[in-house]
Structure formats: structure tokens, C-alpha cells
């Protein structure tokens, strides 16, 4: 759930940055925040408590505020078959209170102090956060530590909340053509039984069967200090963060049953497949080509960085290859871009997308998209383009430091997906080190859409 904007079970703006979790703008379901690139080493510190809780402190003394984020290394991809939506459902239920702090004590305390709270679910993680005055940090830690193991649920709170989630699915997926297309594309891309091919919010019939026992079993299995990462960014010294974490979270026993996670490969594909959805409510038709590529977690050294630079060369506006060709030069599209969904415990996705101008057929748009892709795959990209792409990526990394929440999200999302502190802190250096040969070696692989999923969102004619 999201206390400020509601869960996004439908489409979500695409991002192209390192360790991002954004999906293609026209086609991908998500219930999660986007993440930003790395920040300098001197601004992040790590400590592991005796019970296994990983604690990351990112001091930022510009304003007397802190962002307190608790990330669990469990998401929808960790659900058992037939119980889709359980991770997201439990996220909702965690706001129902404990015996020591029954609902809505926690939320009222945050509101009374002028703070904000939120939560989100992804395929690979679930997160809870508060943004609050720095002096309230010990209170937030105490509350969050309490609900790590102290959740109290009854049918009287579980069943009505299940109805809330079902309504959320109806509003954000079933009534949103773009979200429905994204759900179908994910299923075809990964395979209908692959964890990434199952919607984060769950299937309606499976959500309707979730109950108290399901929620509590999932909670007891996955919510433990040795399956979590605490990230605190803001106006507090790192040693104080570690001390407060030990005094609150440190009292909780670890769970010896926690196991390392893996993700299976995507279903093998021999041909390109088209998924088309036409609906009268579609305002802007669009076309997306996407296929599976290595993520930062699964790539060989240097591959993910090369894909990152390549996606920037092709997708950035106004000078990115696909934007310049389709939008600026030929006037075929109102928008166009390239994305690399690079943050995942398993593989990631790479693709291109465009939305046609009025009067331009999907066939003409698709032909132009493939023309750009074939040229990049066959001829590669130039040294000047690569240099500009690196400059943009590194500049955006620096700009991301202006937001303590962005830094906390970046660290949490990356670490829960298997990255290390060194991966994050060396990212700028690795981007700088990417060569033209490395980028062009990945180009044929990235822009080979012969086994991709094509997603077409069309406006249905009124009868």
C-alpha cells in the first residue's frame, strides 16, 4: 500500500538507471518505487547486527529530517504457486497493529509528528518507510521493530482488507488497458509460471482465496532481522543509527529457517510474439518491444554497465537515436525511448517503445523502430554518443544525492537484489570505464528482437 499515492498495480514511469526497478512506461505492472544511481563512498556506512539485520546509514545534515526504510528480502516472486498477491496483501496487513501498538497508534504518531509513511511491494522485496523529524527516529525504530514479529491479525481485519486489495486490483489493473497489457506481456515474456510472469498484486481468483492462515504463515516465514535491511538517511550520525538499531531491532531473534533466494531463467523462446490489447478507453496507442537480458545481478562483469550506457545512447531525449529519429526527424511519434530494467534478483529486461502521432499507423511506427534497432545492432554507436551518455548518467548520479529518500531507496532496492556496497560505490567508476567496444559488443544482443514480446496498445473503435 502507499499512504501518499496508493499502490501502482498498473503502469509506472520507465527509468533507465542503475539498479532501477521501473518498467516500460506503456506496458509493465509494478508496486514499487524507482531507484537512483550510486552515491559517493563517504556518504554511506554499513553494519550488521548480531541477529543478522543489515543496517546502512547515509548521513545528510542539510535538514533535521530522516528517512527510515526497512526492506524485507521477500516479494511476490517468493510466493507459493496458487497464492499470488500474498506479499502485497501482507504489506497491507502490517498496518493493522500489534498487541503493544494496536492500529492506528503507529500511523497517528507519525501524523502527529508531521511525518509521512509509506509501503511498497516488488517482485524481489517489500519495504516500509517513514520520513520524520530526526528526534523521532528512535520512536520509528521501536514501532517498526515491534511489527517485525508482533503483528496481530484476526478475520475481522483480514477479510475486509482482502476486499480492499480486490478493489485495488479492479481499479488499477482490470480498469486500466495499459496495465492489463503489461500483465499479459509479463506472462508471455517470462512464462506464465515464472515468478516474474505473475502479477505482483496477484490474480483476482487467488487473492479472493487468501486468508488469515496464509498471511500469518508468510509473515512468520519471511519477516525476520536476518531477512531485512534497514536504511536510514538523514540528519543523524552513522554511529547513532547503529546504536539505536541495536537497542530496538537488536532485541529480535534471527530466523534460522531463512534461506538464500534464487530465480529461474525465463521460458525459452524461438520466435517473436505479439500481444495486442484494444480498448475504447485508450487515449494514446503505443508499441513496445521487450526481451530478457542480464540484470546487474546476473550479468558478466561489464555487461550491465554497457547496457546502461547503450540504453542512454538510444533512449535519451532529445538526441537519443530512437527519439531523434522517430520524434524529431521523421515526426512519426509523440514519444519514444529505450529502457533497461536492470535491478532484479533474476534477469532483467531491455526494450524500446514509441507512441504514434495521430494519422501514423502502427505498422509504419514498428517498421521505423526496427530500422533504428537494426542500425544500432549492425553498425554500433559512436564514441561521441557514448561520451555524452556517460556524462548524463554520472550527472544524474550526482543530482540524486539531493534527495535523501532517493538515496535510501537506491541502497535498499540494490542490496535486496543481491548487490554489495562496493557495487554501488564503484558504479560511477565502472560507467566511466565502459569502452566503445564493450557497448557495441552488447548492441546486437540488446537490439535483437527476433524473440521479443511485442506489446501493442490500441484504441478500439466504438460500435
Task: Tell whether 5 is covered by a domain.
Answer: no
Residues 291, 398, single domain; the answer is: yes
Domain around 123: 41-251
What's the pLDDT score for residue 197?
A: 98
Would you place residue 5 in the very low, low, confident or very high pLDDT band (cuts 50, 70, 90)? very low
pLDDT 10s digits, 118-132: 999 999 999 999 999
What's the pLDDT score for residue 438?
A: 98
Residues 235, 280, single domain; the answer is: no
Task: Tell whether 232 is covered by a domain.
Answer: yes
Query: What percent of the chain is modeled with pLDDT above 90?
Result: 87
What's the pLDDT score for residue 400?
A: 84
Task: Tell whether 20 is covered by a domain.
Answer: no
Residues 217, 296, single domain; the answer is: no
Average pLDDT over the chain, rounded to an integer: 91
Residues 116, 166, single domain; the answer is: yes
Would you place residue 409 in the very low, low, confident or very high pLDDT band (cuts 50, 70, 90)? very high
What's the pLDDT score for residue 461?
A: 86
Task: Tell whether 375 is covered by a domain.
Answer: yes
Residues 227, 110, single domain; the answer is: yes
Average pLDDT over residues 260-266: 96
Q: 245-281 burial string, b = 16+ CB within 10 Å, else e?
A: bbebbbebeebeebeebebeebeebeeeeebebeeee
pLDDT 10s digits, 275-285: 999 999 999 99
What's the pLDDT score for residue 43?
A: 82
Q: Is the pLDDT of residue 44 over 60?
A: yes
pLDDT 10s digits, 360-380: 999 999 999 999 999 999 999
Average pLDDT over residues 378-404: 93
Task: Tell whether 259 is covered by a domain.
Answer: no
* Whether residue 303 lies in the annotated active site: no
Q: Is the pLDDT of residue 161 over 70?
A: yes
Give the H or E element holding residue 59: strand 54-59
What's the pLDDT score for residue 401?
A: 82
CB atoms within 10 A of CB 149: 16
Residues 374, 239, single domain; the answer is: no
Residues 229, 298, single domain; the answer is: no
Residues 320, 441, single domain; the answer is: yes
Residue found under cell 510472469: 197
Least confident of 21-25, 82-86, 107-111: 21-25
**Whose CA is closest to 50, among 286, 253, 189?**
253
Task: Tell whether 341 is covered by a domain.
Answer: yes
What's the pLDDT score for residue 317?
A: 83
Would you place residue 15 in the very low, low, confident or very high pLDDT band (cuts 50, 70, 90)? very low
Residues 199, 287, single domain; the answer is: no
Residue found under cell 485495488: 168
Task: Tell whether 267 is covered by a domain.
Answer: no
Instruction: For 335, list phi and psi in degrees, rounded to 5.
Output: -155, 155
Average pLDDT over residues 159-169: 99
Task: Give DSSP secondary structure letters for 168-210.
Answer: HHIIIIIT-HHHHHHHHHHHHHH-TTSGGGS-TT--HHHHTT-
pTM for the model: 0.91
Task: Tell whether 288 is covered by a domain.
Answer: yes
Q: Is the pLDDT of residue 423 over 80?
A: yes
Query: Any idea what the CATH number is for the domain that residue 63 is in?
Result: 3.30.830.10
Domains: count for the chain: 2
pLDDT 10s digits, 230-241: 999 999 999 999
The residue annotated as part of the active site, out of 91, 161, 168, 183, is 91
Residues 135, 219, single domain; the answer is: yes
* Region class of 296: left (phi > 0), else alpha (psi between -120 and 50), else beta: alpha
Residues 84, 149, single domain; the answer is: yes
Average pLDDT over residues 434-458: 98
Residues 332, 413, single domain; the answer is: yes
Amino acid at each position: 500500500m502507499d499512504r501518499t499515492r496508493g499502490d501502482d498495480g498498473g503502469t509506472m514511469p520507465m527509468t533507465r538507471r542503475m539498479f532501477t526497478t521501473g518498467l516500460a512506461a506503456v506496458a509493465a505492472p509494478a508496486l514499487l518505487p524507482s531507484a537512483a544511481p550510486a552515491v559517493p563512498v563517504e556518504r554511506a556506512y554499513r553494519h550488521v547486527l548480531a541477529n543478522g539485520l543489515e543496517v546502512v546509514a547515509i548521513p545528510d545534515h542539510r535538514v533535521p529530517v530522516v528517512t527510515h526504510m526497512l526492506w524485507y528480502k521477500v516479494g511476490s516472486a517468493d510466493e507459493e504457486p496458487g497464492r499470488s498477491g500474498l506479499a502485497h496483501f501482507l504489506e497491507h496487513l502490517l498496518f493493522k497493529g500489534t498487541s503493544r501498538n494496536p492500529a492506528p497508534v503507529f500511523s497517528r504518531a507519525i501524523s502527529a509528528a508531521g511525518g509521512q509513511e509509506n509501503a511498497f511491494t516488488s517482485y524481489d522485496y517489500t519495504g516500509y518507510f517513514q520520513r520524520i523529524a530526526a528526534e523521532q527516529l528512535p520512536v520509528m525504530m521501536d514501532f517498526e521493530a515491534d511489527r517485525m514479529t508482533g503483528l496481530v491479525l484476526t478475520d475481522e481485519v483480514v477479510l475486509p482488507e482482502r476486499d480492499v486489495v480486490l478493489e485495488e486490483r479492479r481499479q488499477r489493473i482490470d480498469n486500466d488497458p495499459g496495465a492489463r497489457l503489461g500483465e499479459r506481456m509479463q506472462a508471455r515474456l517470462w512464462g506464465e509460471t515464472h515468478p516474474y510472469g505473475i502479477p505482483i498484486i496477484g490474480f483476482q481468483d487467488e487473492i479472493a482465496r487468501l486468508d488469515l492462515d496464509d498471511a500469518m504463515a508468510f509473515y512468520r516465514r519471511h519477516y525476520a532481522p536476518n531477512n531485512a535491511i534497514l536504511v536510514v538517511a538523514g540528519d543523524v550520525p552513522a554511529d547513532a543509527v547503529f546504536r539505536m538499531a541495536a537497542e530496538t531491532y537488536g532485541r529480535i531473534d534471527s530466523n534460522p529457517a531463512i534461506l538464500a533466494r534464487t530465480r529461474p531463467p525465463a521460458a525459452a523462446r524461438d520466435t517473436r510474439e505479439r500481444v495486442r490489447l484494444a480498448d475504447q478507453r485508450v487515449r494514446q496507442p503505443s508499441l513496445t518491444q521487450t526481451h530478457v537480458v542480464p540484470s546487474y545481478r546476473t550479468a558478466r562483469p561489464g555487461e550491465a554497465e554497457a547496457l546502461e550506457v547503450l540504453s542512454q545512447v538510444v533512449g535519451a531525449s532529445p538526441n537519443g537515436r530512437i527519439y531523434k529519429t522517430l520524434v524529431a526527424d521523421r515526426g512519426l511519434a509523440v514519444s519514444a525511448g529505450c529502457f533497461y530494467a536492470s535491478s532484479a534478483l533474476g534477469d532483467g529486461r531491455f526494450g524500446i517503445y514509441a507512441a504514434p502521432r495521430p494519422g501514423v499507423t502502427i505498422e509504419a511506427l514498428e517498421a521505423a523502430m526496427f530500422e533504428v534497432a537494426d542500425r544500432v545492432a549492425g553498425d554500433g554507436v559512436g564514441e561521441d554518443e557514448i561520451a555524452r551518455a556517460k556524462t548524463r548518467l554520472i550527472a544524474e548520479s550526482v543530482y540524486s544525492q539531493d534527495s535523501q529518500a532517493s538515496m535510501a531507496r537506491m541502497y535498499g532496492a540494490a542490496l535486496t537484489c543481491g548487490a554489495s556496497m562496493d557495487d554501488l560505490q564503484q558504479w560511477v567508476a565502472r560507467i566511466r570505464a565502459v569502452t566503445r567496444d564493450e557497448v557495441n559488443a552488447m548492441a546486437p544482443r540488446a537490439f535483437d528482437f527476433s524473440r521479443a514480446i511485442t506489446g501493442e496498445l490500441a484504441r478500439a473503435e466504438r460500435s
